[in-house]
């Protein structure tokens, strides 16, 4: 004897027998287009990404969809250290600049420069210098982003009580003058 469920009791007997003979719907097949092979610049960005991560021993925790990043390191009780970052995957000048800026934090070393806004300056300097060395396009927008970022870092340091502005950051005291559209 078959065990009845609550649904079996609610449905008429005739409907129950039809239901058991019904075929399961065929699974939907999702066909995806094959990705186009990477172009020359895409291959260059991928190669640079792999080289930088390997050279500085950094692991990507997450590729971000936004144009923002963060770098940090974790030191474990046994003395081992993990170098981590989150940034956009380099696919163009801006995402490459942000990725290299985060790599720059690991390259120069956390706490090497005090105050923190000065560390931001040297991480950006590493990014821009590396882009020039590797033959990547450093656009005006990348320079604007660097200025905006350093102006923000300096203003934050001043709000928190910074007494003396490092000479490297003097050009970033004033916000960038924005072009009208």
CB atoms within 10 A of CB 76: 8
At 141, is the pLDDT very low, low, confident or very high (cuts 50, 70, 90)?
Answer: very high
pLDDT at residue 20, as a whole number: 58
Residue 4: pLDDT over 90: no
Collapsing DSSP to helix, strand or coil, 139 comes out as: coil
At 6, is the pLDDT very low, low, confident or very high (cuts 50, 70, 90)?
Answer: confident
More confident site: 15 or 42:
42
User: CA-CA distance, 145 to 124, in Å (whole number)?
Assistant: 10
Cα–Cα distances (Å) from 51 to 8, 69, 100, 106, in that order, read 63, 19, 11, 14
Which residue, chain included where needed, has tokens 């990348």? 142
Q: Where are the domains of the chain?
A: 40-172
Residue 17: pLDDT over 80: no
Collapsing DSSP to helix, strand or coil, 109 comes out as: coil
Asked if 126 and 107 touch (Cβ cutoff 8 Å), the reply is yes
CA 83 and chain centroid, separation: 14
Asked if 93 and 136 touch (Cβ cutoff 8 Å), the reply is yes
More confident site: 173 or 6:
173
Residue 37: pLDDT over 90: no
Instruction: Kindly state the average pLDDT of the residues 122-132.
Output: 98
User: CA-CA distance, 64 to 42, in Å (whole number)?
Assistant: 17
Give the global pTM.
0.78
Which residue, chain included where needed, has tokens 């870092």? 153
At 27, is the pLDDT very low, low, confident or very high (cuts 50, 70, 90)?
Answer: confident
Instruction: Kindly state the average pLDDT of the residues 14-31.
Output: 69
pLDDT at residue 25, as a whole number: 80
């Amino acid at each position: 004897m078959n065990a009845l469920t609550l649904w079996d009791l609610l449905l008429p007997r005739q409907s129950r027998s039809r239901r058991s003979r019904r075929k399961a719907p065929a699974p939907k097949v999702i066909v995806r287009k094959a990705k186009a092979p990477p172009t020359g610049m895409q291959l260059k960005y991928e190669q640079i990404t792999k080289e930088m991560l390997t050279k500085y021993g950094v692991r990507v925790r997450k590729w971000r969809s936004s144009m923002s990043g963060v770098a940090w390191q974790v030191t474990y009780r046994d003395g081992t250290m993990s170098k981590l970052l989150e940034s956009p995957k380099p696919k163009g000048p801006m995402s490459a600049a942000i990725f290299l800026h985060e790599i720059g934090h690991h390259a120069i070393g956390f706490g090497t420069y005090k105050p923190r806004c000065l560390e931001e300056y040297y991480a950006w300097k590493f990014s821009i210098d590396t882009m020039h060395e590797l033959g990547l396009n450093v656009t005006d927008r990348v320079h604007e982003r660097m200025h905006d970022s350093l102006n923000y870092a300096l203003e934050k340091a001043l709000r928190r009580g910074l007494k003396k502005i490092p000479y490297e950051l003097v050009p970033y005291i004033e916000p960038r003058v924005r072009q009208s559209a």
